[in-house]
A and B are shown apart, each in its own frame.
Chain A
Amino acid sequence: MGLAFLGWIFCFWGYLTIRLDITSDARPYLESVHYFSSALMRGEYPLWEPNRLDGVPVEFFNRRIGSYNPVFLLPGLLNKIGFDFYVAYLIYQSVYFFVGMVGFYHLAVILLKDQTWAFLCFLFLLFSSWGTRLFDSYIYLPFIPLIWFFVFLFSFVRDPRRYSIVGTTFCAMLILTTYIPFFTVVIFAIVFSGWAIFYFRDWGARIKEIGTFLKTNRFLAIFCVMALVWSLIPGVRLFRDAARGDIVLNDRQAYDLDPETGQKRLSGTAFEVDFARTTSWGIEEDVLYSASFLDIRHFKLAVVYVPIVALVIISLALWAPMTRLTTCLGFVLFMGFLVSAHRFPVYPFLNQHIFFFKYFRNLHFFLWFLLIPVFILFAVSQIPSLVRWAQKSPLRFLIYCVGVHGMLLWGVLYFNAGWTTAGILVVSCFFWIILTRASSRLSPVLIFGVLLGLVLVPSSEVFYYLQKNSYHLESGKPSDWLPGKGKGYPKPVLNLPVDQSEENLVLVTSEPRQAGPAHYFALADYDFLMKHVDWRVFNFYVQNKLYVVDSVEHMDRTNFDHQRLEDVWQRRGNVAFVSDWQNEDEIFSQPASLARASVVTAGMPEVKIQKYGSHELTLQTRWSRPRFLVFNDSWHPSWRGFIDGAPVRLRRANVTFKGVWIPAGEHVVSFRFGSITDHLLHKFLMLLFYGMFGCFFIFYMKESKDKTLIKS
């Protein structure tokens, strides 16, 4: 396995030695990991990211791997001991990926009951295009707990043990804190139905055994269920945010037409995806798109690839009898395809009748999460039957084997699928003939070596072209553009201007008005402003984090007037807009005595910053009259305001930011994100996840020792 992993490193040498650039979703993921793991290293569990889009909650982006995944500590730790952050990130990715591949090996061992063929499964997946997704995506992150989930689940069903139930629970918890819980539900349902149909004779015995285990370990079982329920909390809260309309997901959310303007606007909750959007690209398209890269000289990221030997096996075993396992895997493969292929009637039906099917945007993820691994298992599971079939009539198999290889060779040459692939087909032909005739006489080391060669050699040519067609880094490395360069993400700093310079005042008059960029994830009001306020004015306004004004007016999305807002922002009008009108607004608002809003500067005698961090801003104020403080950091229901320690109503100011009235005199004003319960909850969940992880190891060590004793 180590040798195979070295081979994998060799295949992606350009990426791993930072000569090639990561692209697409991998870039924002790097940023997100940088922020989160650096905060963890500082002993802080971040819930809010103030520097992204003027403040956003962290939970959504962390769902790529799950906030409480212990592996999240790895990049931070490596960075702490001196690795450049990007190098640390690459090591963390590679290690996590390899952990997943090892999991797949174990899964194959459980299913195939043969280490040689399990090793072949491991090789197929390791050298499939799953390995390329580290550099352009993050979909491999939830895939890894998914693999291990099935490893532990199968192992539990086969032989219930404490480590396997804890392992299953831990992986399920990880999955529940990622963005794919519903994908997992579907995958689980398909696999379960496959097992239920094809292994129904085993039901009784299995259920009895599991029942006995649960009875004797009822506390552990109850704890596992509770742990699962607890791990649902962050997801449920995120869904609550979406249901309340606090967040938007521009790239996936459903649209409708605004009856007044006739323009497209976001509709439904953030997680509901437009049917047309979901069905614009699915498994069918992904497969066909990948088929366009049969000429491997054009190979690139996100193209589906499985080493050709898998195809050889499928072709050779065409006439071999199916086993129960193969049939079951074939069924899972077929059902997985039907459920996720949007051009067949099953998916539209499910979309209409099962609520969470509306949450799937990328149906082709099923290809990656389910179909590729199951296809590999399906192909390799045919080998024992193939060998038996071949041994019955060696001459017929010899002719058939040569014919199949000849056909494939022709195809490879015709499509320019690589010279090494062509060469490996010749070797493969000999290998299968020898294997079927003398499998018992071949040394396992030789078989492992040949299998590694058969998979590694053509894959390395494919990945050579992939790297050739990838973006080359001209200078520096991706971590150079991260805050803190190669080091950890620096503690957030509130950059206040030194003086209230007037030269910055710029009137934007030129047409056309410029809308801000649409972001994948944003707070709903912030997104609204980006779309409706001139981007130049917006940028000019938010360059100062704190403003103080003397009067407020009512304006929110219902009576939004972009001209009024832009005008005030451009000339720094002494007014802020609040989304709801309160008595205090009537009492405190004054006719603007100053022509302009005061920008809070570093040397302002009336304001002194006491504390600033991801979750808090505390300042001391001293004014002779009540004034309204605007904090240009996004409003979110979890933000709370305090004056002199007493909670005050935090206002939504200027549509998307925060504001509060500060009475005259000396006061301490605080903005805090999340209640103590919120912060404790996350720390508790973190402890729970780490605890489960630790528990798993303890049980595993103990029970594997017991197993060894029983064996001896």
Chain B
Amino acid sequence: MRVMGRNIHISSFLNRHVIFYILVFFIMAAMADLREISKNVNLAVLNRFRPPGFADLVALAKSGNVSDSDVLSNYQRYYAAVRRVMPELSEAHALYGFCTYYLGDRVGARRAYQHSLELNPHVFSYHYNAGQLAWQAGEFLKAGEFFQKALATSPELNLQFIMRSQRLFLPLAALLDPESPQRALGKYFRDHYRLAGARLVASRYRAGDFLASLQAAGGLIKTGFEDGELYFYAGASAYELGGWKQAVVFLWKGFEYGKRDAWAVDLMIQIFRDIQTRVQSTELETQIIILEKMSPREATDSRETKLMLF
């Protein structure tokens, strides 16, 4: 046969390694459903990667401290495998992101949460964690948006979602309280919705939008949210807006509700001093003394760095 002016022998053309591989592939494809095989094999491999237990992961979520990065790497590898096999599972991306974050890769974690959100924008923890990561990157405006979206999600739907996530979230949730995971989950969500509210106020303050911060805080306080961080940032925002009296009340409430990390206490002292000089008041002296004497102070607010597991 002549092709482009050259003699080509069919037999010599067919006698190539690449033709052999193609032939093998077609024979295999004719014998069995390769896609189905691939899916089943992937599942079997996934089971091999499945860690023997998830207690370490739950402990990490509670403490925020990585005790054994090798163990965490195993979890990460498992979730990476789940992600590869079942990319449609938003939980797999989220849990991969969680492990990735605690292994020190914030960018990778952010990408993973972004993916989770694209798959399911109704999950509270995805927004919350994405907000936390944006906060840590200094993108406070973006963080605020995430927290606001987190607050807009439905706690009931989230609860249902976790109970339905039999393979990934439920085994973890069951470890919160093996006897009554639902009750434990209820408390878990209440705490985190409160936290998300506080983080929303904090993000807006840090973004420089003091009015929005104060308004958000007001709204949340009205609905019964009580949180040290919430009050603290509400107070700091009030101060920036010139509402000194309100600032003093909120800041002090923040202190009383547990906002006691070094940066916050320093800021409170600074604000109280400033207000004291401005209004020529001696009433704040006692509070300043209490704040100055307060020790030991937490170096940072651990809530700023912790992610939610589910």
Do A289 and B37 touch (CB < 8 A)? no
The reply on A285 being an interface residue by CB < 8 A is yes
Given A292-B81, A343-B37, A345-B32, CB of A285 within 8 Å of CB of B44: yes
Do A345 and B18 touch (CB < 8 A)? no
- Across the interface, B24 reaches (CB within 8 A) one of A285, A289, A318, A334, namely A334
Given A292-B49, A343-B37, A343-B40, CB of A322 within 8 Å of CB of B32: no
* Separation of A292 and B82 alpha carbons in the complex (Å): 11
Q: Mark B13-41, 1 if CB is under 8 A from A, else 0.
A: 00111101100100110011000010011
Do A288 and B42 touch (CB < 8 A)? yes
Query: Nearest Cβ in chain A — how far from B107, in angstroms?
Result: 16
- Across the interface, B18 reaches (CB within 8 A) one of A288, A318, A343, namely A318
Q: Mark A316-354, 1 if CB is under 8 A from B, else 0.
A: 011111100011001000100010000111100000000
* Separation of A382 and B17 alpha carbons in the complex (Å): 9
Residue in chain A with minimal CB distance to B80: A292
Do B45 and A288 touch (CB < 8 A)? yes
* Separation of A185 and B298 alpha carbons in the complex (Å): 70
Do A322 and B31 touch (CB < 8 A)? no
Do A284 and B16 touch (CB < 8 A)? no
Given A298-B73, A343-B32, A344-B31, CB of A317 within 8 Å of CB of B41: no
The reply on B192 being an interface residue by CB < 8 A is no
* Separation of A443 and B12 alpha carbons in the complex (Å): 32
Do B32 and A320 touch (CB < 8 A)? no
Q: Inside 8 A of A154's CB, which chain B residues have their CB?
A: none
Q: Inside 8 A of B18's CB, which chain A residues have their CB?
A: 318-319
Do B15 and A285 touch (CB < 8 A)? no
Q: Inside 8 A of B73's CB, which chain A residues have their CB?
A: 298
Do A321 and B16 touch (CB < 8 A)? yes
Q: Inside 8 A of A280's CB, which chain B residues have their CB?
A: 44
Which of B37, B42, B48 gathers the greatest number of chain A CB atoms within 10 Å?
B48
Q: Inside 8 A of A344's CB, which chain B residues have their CB?
A: 28, 31-32, 37
Do A288 and B41 touch (CB < 8 A)? yes
The reply on B77 being an interface residue by CB < 8 A is yes
Given A334-B24, A343-B37, A345-B32, CB of A285 within 8 Å of CB of B48: yes
The reply on A281 being an interface residue by CB < 8 A is yes
- Across the interface, B31 reaches (CB within 8 A) one of A298, A320, A330, A345, namely A345
Count of chain A residues with Cβ under 8 Å from any Cβ of B? Answer: 25
Do A322 and B48 touch (CB < 8 A)? no
- Across the interface, B17 reaches (CB within 8 A) one of A318, A343, A345, namely A318
Q: Inside 8 A of B21's CB, which chain A residues have their CB?
A: 318
Query: Nearest Cβ in chain A — how far from B153, in angstroms?
Result: 34
* Separation of A322 and B17 alpha carbons in the complex (Å): 6
Given A321-B12, A334-B24, A344-B31, CB of A292 within 8 Å of CB of B45: yes
Query: Nearest Cβ in chain B — how far from A312, in angstroms?
Result: 13
Q: Inside 8 A of B49's CB, which chain A residues have their CB?
A: 292
Count of chain B residues with Cβ under 8 Å from any Cβ of A? Answer: 23
Query: Nearest Cβ in chain B — how far from A193, in angstroms?
Result: 16
Q: Inside 8 A of B81's CB, which chain A residues have their CB?
A: 292
Q: Inside 8 A of A321's CB, which chain B residues have their CB?
A: 12, 15-16
Residue in chain A with minimal CB distance to B12: A321
Query: Nearest Cβ in chain B — how far from A345, in angstroms?
Result: 6
Q: Inside 8 A of A382's CB, which chain B residues have their CB?
A: 17
- Across the interface, B20 reaches (CB within 8 A) one of A292, A298, A330, namely A330
Q: Mark A276-310, 1 if CB is under 8 A from B, else 0.
A: 00001100110011001000001000000000000
* Separation of A78 and B24 alpha carbons in the complex (Å): 49
Query: Nearest Cβ in chain B — how far from A344, in angstroms?
Result: 5
Residue in chain A with minimal CB distance to B77: A298
* Separation of A109 and B42 alpha carbons in the complex (Å): 38
Residue in chain B with minimal CB distance to A323: B15
Query: Nearest Cβ in chain B — how far from A333, in angstroms?
Result: 9
* Separation of A624 and B32 alpha carbons in the complex (Å): 76
Residue in chain B with minimal CB distance to A318: B18
Residue in chain A with minimal CB distance to B48: A289
Q: Inside 8 A of A281's CB, which chain B residues have their CB?
A: 44, 48
Q: Inside 8 A of A326's CB, which chain B residues have their CB?
A: 17
- Across the interface, B16 reaches (CB within 8 A) one of A285, A322, A334, A338, namely A322
* Separation of A280 and B28 alpha carbons in the complex (Å): 20
Which of B15, B27, B41 gathers the greatest number of chain A CB atoms within 10 Å?
B41
* Separation of A326 and B17 alpha carbons in the complex (Å): 9
Q: Inside 8 A of A338's CB, which chain B residues have their CB?
A: 31
Q: Inside 8 A of B37's CB, which chain A residues have their CB?
A: 284, 343-344
Q: Inside 8 A of B17's CB, which chain A residues have their CB?
A: 314, 317-320, 322, 326, 382
Do B41 and A284 touch (CB < 8 A)? yes
* Separation of A656 and B73 alpha carbons in the complex (Å): 46
Do B31 and A289 touch (CB < 8 A)? no
Query: Nearest Cβ in chain A — how far from B34, in angstroms?
Result: 9
A288-B42, A292-B81, A321-B12 given; name 11 further pairs at CB < 8 Å: A280-B44, A281-B44, A284-B41, A285-B44, A289-B45, A292-B45, A320-B16, A322-B15, A322-B16, A322-B20, A343-B40
Nearest 4 CB-CB pairs, A to B?
Answer: A318-B18, A284-B41, A343-B37, A285-B44
Chain A residues proximal to chain B, CB less than 8 Å: 280-281, 284-285, 288-289, 292, 298, 314, 317-322, 326-327, 330, 334, 338, 343-346, 382
Q: What are 12 A-B contacts defined by CB distance under 8 Å? A: A284-B41, A285-B45, A288-B42, A288-B45, A298-B73, A317-B17, A318-B21, A321-B16, A322-B15, A330-B24, A344-B32, A382-B17
